[in-house]
Structure 1
Amino acid sequence: MKSGDWFLPMTIKEINQHALIAEALSRGAVGFTYEQGQRDSFDSSLLKTSNFAVPNLRDYLFSLAREKRAQINPQIAVIAGSAGKTSVKELVGAILKSWHPQKYFISPDNQNTKIALATQILRLPSDCQCASFEMGARRVNDFAIPLSYLQPSVVALLNIGSAHVGEFGCKENLWNEKISCLNSESAKSLVVPSDNLLILEYAMQTGKNVLSFGYSKQSSIRILDETTEQITLRIMDDTVKLDCPFQGAAKALNVAASVAVAKSMGAPLSAIQDGLQKFDGVPRRFQLFQWDRVTAIDDAFNASPESYAEGLQRLKKLSNEKRLLLVLGSMLELGESAEAEHRKVAHQIKDLFGLSARVAVATVGTEANWIHQELKSLGFSSDQLQHFQSAADARRIQNQRLEFDLIYFKGSKSIQLQTIFGDS
């Protein structure tokens, strides 16, 4: 809350914020809109302040966002997909910052829900030239409302994986919702992975301008080579070497996707090169840091089967012959596929790192125990494996860290792996 704000006491995650109206006013709000039927949820004396009631606060917020969007005319890119949304959104934002330094907008953190996105549209300055948003979905029909007020000129669908399949009920529902973003009426251009033929073919059938990215020869933005500091792309008919001095899982794919989005928006190559060169990565997405005298990687902001695979593959390139500790937390919201997906992680570890005694694995959380069990069955010794029910229990890893050269943290945000190293 800031002085001069107007408060909408939404009910979010079962928290009825009508009870917080008094606090909002004390923090500087000049008034509030409340929902009819919630009159008994706050002190009647607060009605002396500017206020009015509406039948439904969510509908009211979304209508405000649509009205605001009709008054401004920025180019807007929306990034969707099961993994990589935040990284690509931030990469596109870095390019937009270089292109329009004073007149760009990047949606903050991973705030990608309907309510968060509506609030962001309301915050857009009237002279904004370009913006990069990420859009998430956890259930059927989640995309329709934000697309109605975001009105993007470019929509990027990075992938369709298994994240949140438990909340969708089945993979078919998840697929149908994710792919639906490509039907955005306002979008003139679509950005999709060339290596996923189902997504690519669907995009082509929309009749919109389609830019594809990936490793395959038919890619509009094709990845030719990747080093630690540089990525070489074939952009249409030109070969371009881009300085990208940051770390990240699926780094080359994310860079290629961001270039495709930026090109669709009309950004010049000079802005693309400058933005990527200055980009320093996304917090908690494969972020390197020093934990005492040991190099560690925090990749535990979120976790899905796809991001797990990408992170482990990226780690393999950095690990060489280092003494390696994998601290792996549960993946949540996977529904009936949870056990199979966790056991699959164990096989990925064996395929990438073998049974080397230089590799140890500590699993954290109920579901992560399936990784632990599968590693045992694959031949990992008891000396290499530990399992902890919670991050609080796993804090004893602090006493072991100097035994390793590289420590990798990966898991769903709710497992709170950062508490293992955060206060040490």
Structure 2
Amino acid sequence: MIALSLAEIAEVVGGQTHDIPDPSVQVTGSVVRDSREVEPGSLFVAFVGERVDGHDFAQAVVAAGAAAVLGSRPVGVPAIVVPDVQKALGALARHVVQRLGATLVALTGSAGKTSTKDLIAQVLQRKAPTVWTPGSLNNEIGLPLTALSATEETRFLVLEMGARGIGHIRYLSDLTPPRIGLVLNVGTAHIGEFGGREQIAQAKGELVEGLPSAAEGGTAILNADDPLVRAMASRTKAKVILFGESGEADVRAENVRLTDSGQPAFTLHTPSGASDVTMRLYGEHHVSNALAAAAVAHELGMSAEEIATALSEAGSLSRWRMEVTERPDGVTIVNDAYNANPESMRAALRALAAMGGAARATGGRTWAVLGKMAELGDEALAEHDAVGRLAVRLNVSKLVAVGGREASWLQLGAYNEGSWGEESVHVSDAQAAVDLLRSELRPGDVVLVKASRSVGLESVAEALLAGGTEGEVAAR
């Protein structure tokens, strides 16, 4: 964080100082909520959770070098006490962002947020010091913590914004007002909470509604290939840049194709020129993510050639998102188990099918180890059924549906589509899936593992990569 005195922080957050002998002492380290991340000069933010109370760690974090604790009660060590810790954290983030002078880029969407954020960060980092959301810390706590990790050298701040309902993105945008707002897509993720795609579009569009005007430098970057996103142009006073494969897009892709290993390649067109891209990531869905990143970079003054080079060299920065690892025996594990919704499931299956082209040439097979997609509400049965059917249409060699009711719907969809032999199977849990795979995998096989985060299916991928032929799935 930029250096601030404890007195200044107390004033910004409307807090009272307790046990602080010298209010001029500065916070020069990171702002953290995990006591294990404390470093000299840190500010430790004490939240009260269901099972853990951060205030209980106050003595330990100050002993480890923290300058003070931001909490809701005195703790016997230097502390700034406020009525609402979350609101205080947000106020501090807004203050720091205003002082910083960096360009803020915010993005949202139903699918692909984290992968796109990672691409934007890797492209912009070539131009100037960049700070971005780690992993998927995109909520009312993770977003301000990310903003507070910026320093005086930071020139670009790339923030991922998630939403669980109407008003969430407006709140996040108020905390860290962006100059550039990017909306990727409107899908069915969390549709059970929102009630429909129109409501999801309403929530995601809050990002562009809050942007500065075009005269003030505000820019809305919208997906030309998604009608619900494209329609958001009428909801903003910012300049609009369209990206996509549509001929009307300002930043677009032509000659899109997949390499033999399933990596996307295309010709990038921007208003400043054209250049060829061959990505290191897997799956055609990354083309749209790359175009979104390219649109941001173009707006910030990078040439088509600079952008194409950066996109071609970019990798995955976040865990369990199409992580491709080849075992010594020639089996390839694709760990995409961080989360799942219908759109990302379909994209991952298509990526698996593309990767399977090379595998089949050497006798390898494709395996889709899939679990529940959460928060789909009344659409849950139809969406799981559709994913099971798609696995068959894509000629996935074997579907392993893992878990309870939703997994049975996946398997039933595959059966009804024509998987009548041993092409699909339903197993009770992750251990059963691992036991099955260990007994049947052979060199050249490609295994995709994907489900919603709550399922914890990454344990299957980790067990298969751990080596050996027996043993239990690691406890979560």
What is the TM-score normalised by the length of structure 2?
A: 0.80
SS at match of 2:355: helix
Query: Contact 1:286 / 1:297 at 8 angstroms: preserved in 2?
Result: yes
User: Which whole-Å deviations, capped at 9, do the CAs of 1:353-382 have from their partners, x for residues lacking one?
Assistant: 2xxxx7111011222221012222223134
Q: Which residue of 2 aligns with 1:207?
A: 237
Q: 1:12 to 1:262 in 2, by over 3 A?
A: farther
In the other structure, the counterpart of 1:257 is 292
Q: Does 1:11 align with 2:41?
A: no
Other-structure match for 1:333: 375
Report deviation, 1:96.
0.9
Matched, 1:143 2:169: yes
Instruction: String of CA shifts for 1:94-134, please: whole Å, max 9, x gaps.
Output: 1111111xx22122111111111111111211231112221
Q: Aligned to 1:11, what secondary structure does the other structure show? A: coil
Q: Does 1:277 align with 2:277?
A: no
Inter-partner Cα distance in structure 2 for 1:16 and 1:141: 28
Counterpart secondary structure, 1:7: strand
- Give the alignment partner of residue 360 of structure 1, picking from 379, 398, 402: 398
Which of 423, 427, 430 aligns to 1:384? It is 423
Give me the identity figure in percent.
26
Q: Bigger shift: 245-254 or 304-313?
A: 245-254
Aligned to 2:96: 68
Letter of the aligned partner of 1:3 in structure 2?
P
Cα pair 1:82 1:163 within 8 Å, conserved: yes
1:350 to 388, 392, 406: 392
Deviation at 1:256, TM superposition (A): 0.9
The answer on whether the counterparts of 1:223 and 1:233 sit within 8 Å (CA) in structure 2 is: yes
Q: Secondary structure at the match of 1:148?
A: helix
| Letter aligned with residue 84 of structure 2 | N
Cα distance, 1:17 vs. partner? 2.5
Tell me the CA shift for residue 296 of structure 1. 2.2
- 2:340 aligned to which of 294, 303, 306: 303
1:308-331 Cα distance to aligned partner (Å, 9 max, x none)? 111112222221234221111111
Q: Following superposition of structure 1 onto structure 2, how do residues 22-421 of structure 1 map, counting pairs within 5 Å? A: 22-35=59-72, 46-47=75-76, 49-100=77-128, 103-186=129-212, 188-227=218-257, 228=259, 230-236=265-271, 238-248=273-283, 250-282=285-317, 283-291=319-327, 292-320=329-357, 321=360, 322-353=364-395, 359-366=397-404, 367-396=406-435, 397-402=437-442, 405-421=445-461
Q: How many angstroms apart in 1 are the aligned matches of 2:177 and 2:89?
A: 16
**What is the SS of the residue equivalent to 1:132?**
strand
Q: Aligned AA for 1:393?
A: A
Cα deviation, 1:136-192, whole Å, max 9, x if unaligned, reads 112221112221132211111000111122233554432311121111233711111
CA distance in 2, matches of 1:385, 1:136: 34
**Could you tell me which amino acid in structure 1 is paired with residue 288 of structure 2?**
L
The letter of the residue matching 1:415 is V
Report the alpha carbon displacement of residue 409 of structure 1 after superposing the two structures with TM: 1.4
User: Is the contact between residue 98 and residue 274 of structure 1 (CA under 8 Å) also seen in structure 2?
Assistant: no
Residues 410 and 186 (structure 1 numbering): CA distance in 2 closer, same or farther, change over 3 Å? same
Contact 1:300–1:409 (Cα < 8 Å) also in 2: yes
Deviates more, 1:271-280 or 1:121-130: 271-280
| Superposed CA offset, 1:201-239 (max 9, x none) | 221452321111112111111211234363212223733
SS of match in other structure, 2:168: coil
Q: Classify the secondary structure of the residue corresponding to 2:394.
A: helix
TM-score of the superposition, structure 1-length normalised? 0.90
**Gap change, CA 1:138 and 1:23, over 3 Å in 2:** farther
Alpha-carbon distance, 1:263 to partner: 1.0
Deviation at 1:347, TM superposition (A): 2.0
After the TM superposition, which of the residue ranges 244-253 and 327-336 deviates more from structure 2?
244-253
More off after superposition, 384-393 vs 141-150: 384-393
1:267, distance to aligned residue in structure 2 (A): 2.5
Shift of 1:88: 0.9
**Residues in 1 aligned to 2:312 and 2:297: alpha-carbon distance in whole angstroms:** 15
- Deviation of 1:404 after TM superposition, in Å, equals 6.0
Corresponding residue number in structure 1 for 2:11 = none
CA gap 1:186/1:59 in 2 versus in 1, 3 angstroms: same
Q: 2: CA distance between counterparts of 1:9 and 1:235?
A: 46
Aligned letter for 1:406? V
Classify the secondary structure of the residue corresponding to 1:246.
coil
CA distance in 1, matches of 2:295, 2:312: 17
Measured against aligned partners, the alpha-carbon deviations of 1:248-306 in whole angstroms (never above 9, x if no partner) come to 45121111111011112222334313322321234422221113421221122211111
Tell me how large the CA RMSD over aligned residues is. 2.2
Preserved CA contact (<8 Å) 1:249 1:311: no
More divergent stretch after superposition (206-215 vs 340-349): 206-215
Distance (whole Å) between structure 2 residues aligned to residue 171 and residue 17 of structure 1: 38
Are 2:131 and 2:156, in contact at CA under 8 Å, matched by a contact in 1?
yes
1:311 partner amino acid: A
Conserved? CA contact 1:391–1:420, under 8 Å:
yes
How many residues align? The count is 409
- Counterpart Cα distance in 1 of 2:70 and 2:390: 52
Shift of 1:14: 6.5
Distance 2:367 2:444 in 1: 7
Any idea what SS the aligned residue of 1:63 has? Answer: helix
Q: Is the 8 Å Cα contact of residues 99 and 271 (structure 1) preserved in structure 2?
A: no
Look up the equivalent residue of 1:245 and give its one-letter code: R
